[in-house]
Homo-oligomer: A and B are copies of this chain.
Amino acid sequence: MTFPDPFADLAAALSSDARPTETEGVRIDSSRRARTGAPEFVYGKGKSAEQIAAALRRLLEFEGRALAALVDADQIGAIELLLSELNVALTHDPVGRTLVASVANSVPPCMGGRVGLISAGSSDRPQISEAATVLQEMGCETRSVHDVGVAGLHRLVSPMRYMIAFDPDALIVAAGMDGVLPGVISGLVSIPIVALPTSTGYGFGGEGLGAMTTMLQACAPGIAVVNIDNGIGAGVMAGLIANRAASQRSS
C-alpha cells in the first residue's frame, strides 16, 4: 500500500484531550501535505496584508515554504515588512498573483510529475501562472504554451507537438469565452485533461460560465473541470495525477 493512513490525524485528535487553541482564529492543517499530497495555502482574497502575513507565519512553523494565492502587488511591501524578522525569501508572481515564502535554502520537494499547461488566449495567463506555482510547490515539472486558440486550427500544431514531446502525465487547459480548447485537445491525445475555465467573454455566459458549460458538455471525454479561475484547484488536481504517475516510475 503506497498511501498513508487517511484517518491517522483523526485518530490522533480523538485520543488527545487538547482544548481548541485560538491563534488569530486560524486553525492550520499542519499535516495536509503528508495526508493529501498538496500544501496548505493562504487564500488571500479579501484578506489584509496583516492577515496574510500572519497566516504565512503560521504555515512556516510547520514547513520551510508557504504559499498564498490571490495576493495583490500592492500588499507585497507590507507583507515583506511584517515577515522581515523571519529571514524568509518572498517570491511574488504579479501575473498569477501568488506569493511564496521560503526559509533560506528551502526548495520544494521533487516529486517528478510532469504537467503541461496550455492557454487558449493571452487573457488566460493569470490562471495558468497560478496553477504553475502550485505545481512547482508540489514538486512537479511544467511546460507551458500560450494563445493556442481554435479560431485558427493550424495554430494548434506546433504547440501541441512541442507539448507532446515533453511527455506530460497530465494537461491543464485554460480557456475563456467559448471554452472550446480542452475538448478539441481531448479529441487528439490520451492525456488526462484538467479543464480550467476563465472569467472572460461577452455578456451572456460571460464571466466564465459559458466556458465552464462547454467543458462540462465536451463531446470528447477525458476531461474534468474545476471552477472558474480556480488555478490552484487545477494545479493540485493535475499535480496529484502527475505525481501518482511519477511515483510509479520511480517504484
Contacts and interface: CB of A to CB of B under 8 A. Distances in A.
A217 B201 contact: yes
Contact of A245 (B119, B202, B203, B244): B244
Contact of A191 (B3, B186, B223, B236): B3
Nearest to A225: B225
Interface string A58-78: 000000000000000000000
A83 interface: no
B189 A36 contact: yes
A110 interface: no
A35 interface: yes
Contacts of A150: 183-184, 187, 219-220
Interface in A128-158: 145-158
A20 to B, nearest CB: 5
Contact of A36 (B51, B146, B180, B187): B187
A91 interface: no
A109 interface: no
A18 to B, nearest CB: 5
Most central of A148, A202, A234 by chain B CB within 10 Å: A202
B199 A203 contact: yes
Contacts of A230: 202-203
Nearest to A237: B224
A178 to B, nearest CB: 4
Nearest to A207: B203
A35 B188 contact: yes
Contacts of A192: 237, 240-241, 244
B179 A214 contact: yes
A228 to B, nearest CB: 3
Given A36-B190, A226-B224, A151 B3 contact: no
Contacts of A204: 208-209, 212-213, 216-217, 227-228
